A = this chain, B = another copy of it.
Amino acid sequence: MRKLKDSRRPEILDAALAVAAERGLDGVSMRAVAQHLDLTPMALYGYFRSKDELLDAVLGRLLAEIPPPPADLGWREVVEHLANGLRAVAVRHPSALPLLFTRPAVSPAGVRIVDMVYQALLTAGVPKAEVPRLERMLSTFVIGHVSSETNGRFGTGSLDSLARRAQLPPEQLPGLQALADQLGAPVDWTQEFRIDLRDLCDLVEHLVSSAA
């Protein structure tokens, strides 16, 4: 377990994000990152033990970009501030986003964010035993929504195109058929994100009042 240098770690993470932006996350190879810095691939192994560790560090850098909420916010505003902060990171670094769901956030920034959400839920009056579960529910939603938006899981399409994909005639898809008008319409994901988050905070409030 050799000791690692850290002098140029930030530079390397920037390079990795730059490569991700240019050629996609799959294009982030040790070779490509090294080339971006005019280094040999092997030079990177002085700073990270493996490509996996490098990617963990990239994720940590992304979470560290979320600005801490001002001290005087109410609990809902704290949750919204952090959620919007993560979404803004996603918008800045869309191609790096799959990292969020494919690896545990073990970075300092990740732990601090969890701590802030715990504080928010406690001041909301959530019973201690329920706090971790609700934090997981909220973070799952936030990461999942942002992730789905970005990689196109929320694909919209007309009834006909969906029916073709389902290899079924529209009559056998009554749910889709009933909503044929909505299906083609463009969606404002920013607004949907806010509304969902409001609903989830309402849910938290409802749990508090029914527990009291």
Contacts and interface: CB of A to CB of B under 8 A. Distances in A.
Contacts of A202: 203, 206
Given A141-B144, A148-B136, A168-B112, A128 B203 contact: no
Interface residue SS majority, chain A: helix
Contact of A167 (B108, B140, B148, B162): B108
Interface of A: 98, 101-108, 110-112, 114-122, 128-129, 131-133, 136-137, 140-141, 143-145, 147-148, 151-155, 162-163, 165-168, 173-176, 178-179, 181-183, 187, 192, 195-196, 199-200, 202-203, 206-207
A137 B131 contact: no
A196 B111 contact: no
Contact of A162 (B98, B111, B136): B111
A118 B176 contact: yes
A106 B151 CA distance: 13
B118 A168 contact: no
Given A133-B195, A148-B140, A165-B107, A114 B182 contact: no
Nearest to A119: B175
A95 to B, nearest CB: 12
Nearest to A111: B166
Given A101-B144, A112-B173, A133-B192, 8 more contacts: A101-B147, A108-B166, A111-B163, A115-B174, A136-B148, A144-B147, A199-B207, A202-B206
A128 B182 contact: yes
A141 B131 contact: no
A131 B182 contact: yes
A140 B199 CA distance: 14
Given A116-B175, A174-B115, A178-B118, A136 B166 contact: no
Given A102-B151, A195-B133, A199-B203, A122 B166 contact: no
